[in-house]
């Protein structure tokens, strides 16, 4: 289910880049927000998988899941920060 969410959000983000009208910035903001939420969910899943692999003594898997989860958390935070900036740009001055 998480793979479908990531794939769908990436496709939506790619679609928003191709739109050329007045709604482009709000679409980009919502696409970035959805992508950020999906990557944060992936980071949470990787954190749980790291915990379970560490308890089971599978240190290699725990290390790789920690790296993947950390990368997903960084990407998710970046997407959410970008979405916040785009939402502020969409409101305009004042």
Q: What is the pLDDT of residues 15-37, one digit of tens each?
A: 888 878 877 888 889 889 999 99
Q: What is the pLDDT of residues 45-82, one digit of tens each?
A: 999 999 999 999 999 999 999 999 999 999 999 999 99
Q: Which residue has the tokens 């899941």?
A: 65
| pTM attached to this predicted model | 0.85
Sign of torsion, CA 47 42 34 17? positive
- Under the banding of pLDDT at 50, 70 and 90, the label for residue 5 is confident
CA–CA distance, 5 with 9 (Å, rounded to integer): 6
**Average pLDDT rounded to a whole number, residues 83-91:** 91
Q: Which residue has the tokens 């979405």?
A: 83
Q: What residues make up the domain containing 71?
A: 2-91
Q: Which two tokens stand for residue 89?
A: 């740009």
Total domain count, the chain: 1
- Under the banding of pLDDT at 50, 70 and 90, the label for residue 94 is low
């Amino acid at each position: 289910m998480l793979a479908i969410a990531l794939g769908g959000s990436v496709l939506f983000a790619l679609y928003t880049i191709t739109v050329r009208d007045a709604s482009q910035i709000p679409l980009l903001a919502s696409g970035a927000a959805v992508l950020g939420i999906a990557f944060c969910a992936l980071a949470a899943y990787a954190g749980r998988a790291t915990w379970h692999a560490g308890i089971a003594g599978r240190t290699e898997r725990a290390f790789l899941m920690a790296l993947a989860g950390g990368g997903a958390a960084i990407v998710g935070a970046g997407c959410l920060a970008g979405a916040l900036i785009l939402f502020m740009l969409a409101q305009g001055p004042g």
